[in-house]
Structure 1
Amino acid sequence: MTQQMAYRPRRSVLYMPSSNERALEKAKTLPVDALILDLEDAVAPDAKDAARENACAAARSGDYGRRELTIRVNGLGSQWHDADLAAAAAAGPDAIVVPKVNSADEVRLLVAAMEAAGAPDHTRLWAMVETPVAVLHAEEIARASDRLACLVLGTNDLYKEIGATFAPGRAAIATSLQLALLAARAAGVAVVDGVFNDVKDGHGFLAEARQGREWGFDGKTLIHPGQVEPANDVFAPSAAQVEDARAVIDAFEQAQAQGRGVATLNGRLIENLHVDTAQKVLATAEAIAALS
């Protein structure tokens, strides 16, 4: 059964190493939609315990305002996973992000562990899609639990697992990205694109973010604060798009009042599906405006 989730802006989703207390403090001031406080790749083995304590303290603090606060735990099977998941669930962030989720059974196992550890109802699960197996089972993963709210693409791991080489345009992983996106839409959950690694290449970042937006992603995961505002701009409706959406709705309503089932606007045929798209544009713009 398809889940229908209320729209929440996730244009910019920034990874922050939880071992870095200065970074956690800076995150309170960034115009980011969501934060992933990382216990996994960005944290050295000897800093894992301190990072876990920092992330859980941040989740409990209430100091991050309207930002969606999530914690990425170490993966299933790692020596830190059980302690990470139990501590994160008890801290009650907006979501727990789990790397390399490969099956619906793993989703159900994770949800059971979260609930056993006392995760409050508002703490959702975000599953990372990073392997060929996960891509091929993405719809099953996305539908496995009502607690699952978002698929997060792990593009660096996808390149590695496929044996592909990065190139602008991402042709090597385009099929994987689009299959995951289709799965998320079929299940009614959010889906967030992978990271762009070169923090000095602003033009490359914009090109990749625009590609993700054109394909249908809700937003992009980020590795540097400088990527936040460009991502926010790319994944938000423009003023022209908002104006056009209002015009589409007005034209259709006028046609209906005259007993017609379709309308025209500047030579374009307007049907129910165009009105649905226009309403989504307005709802997205309103949700983003409510953040400020």
Structure 2
Amino acid sequence: MKKLFFIMAILMPAGVFACDICGCSASGYQLGILPQYHKNFIGLRYGYRQFRSTHPTELGNTMNHESREFYHTTELWGRWYATKRLQLFAFVPFQYFKREEGKSITTVSGLGDITLMANYTFLDNNWDLSRKWHHVFQAGGGIKLPTGKTGIPDEGGNIYQNFQPGSRSTDFVVNAVYTMRRGKWGINTDASYRINTANKESYQFGNRFNTSIRGFLYQPVSKTVALQPYAGVMYEHAAGDRQDRKTKDYTGGEMVHTSIGADVYFKRFSAGVQAQLPVYQHLSDGYNHSYARVSATVNFFF
């Protein structure tokens, strides 16, 4: 999802460099309110994030200055029921990043790291219409593959670890999703934890933990159209990054967002938008600042 990480520059002529302060493309994975949870689907979702980074003189800069990072992610994703209780997910992201620092502009783009996941339904009583309260609990995990494009230099020839479409590492994800509903009203909560491994350059992004809770209303508008508005709170935490098994200073952090959004369902299609506003953040010891985020999704059910 969606954090910033401060990384000290590695001064090697032909090595791998890190931006002294800038945004990070790696994030956690959250499923949220799954659309039409009992059906297969394929869809596209888009996310936009923006950050401001301060580069202080104590890091070797000749003067205090700032940069801005803009992250665009377009992701093909889908779900397939292998059995009645076992769901398989795939996420294929395409990344476009832009960094502005003074008159210098750096852009990178390419395929991101593909993630494969499986969730098992441990509890589901939606079939029992005699019950007033309905519950669905699913949990599972998966693997993030090092398929993303890497090694893209900036105008000065530096290669930033945390400004690449891919991370060059194989990582592991565990997650859980719980939904409780009574009539048209419901509560959804989810949590995910990503365990990152070191890449070929011995750089290891810190492990990530994300959790959220949101309330929603499922409101049929006609026989073929339904609207589902929702609002909630999300918490994100990242441990410090490591280089050659040593924790990097000024990495990691945490933040809290409020979120509001809505999905509309029409026959075999759904579309949704969401906005997130940070209400608390402490990233890279305060050297980074996250702005509001927006996302949009379109799905087809089959």
TM-score by length of 1: 0.30
Instruction: State the TM-score, normalized to the length of structure 2.
Output: 0.29
- Quick check: which one's helix share is greater? 1
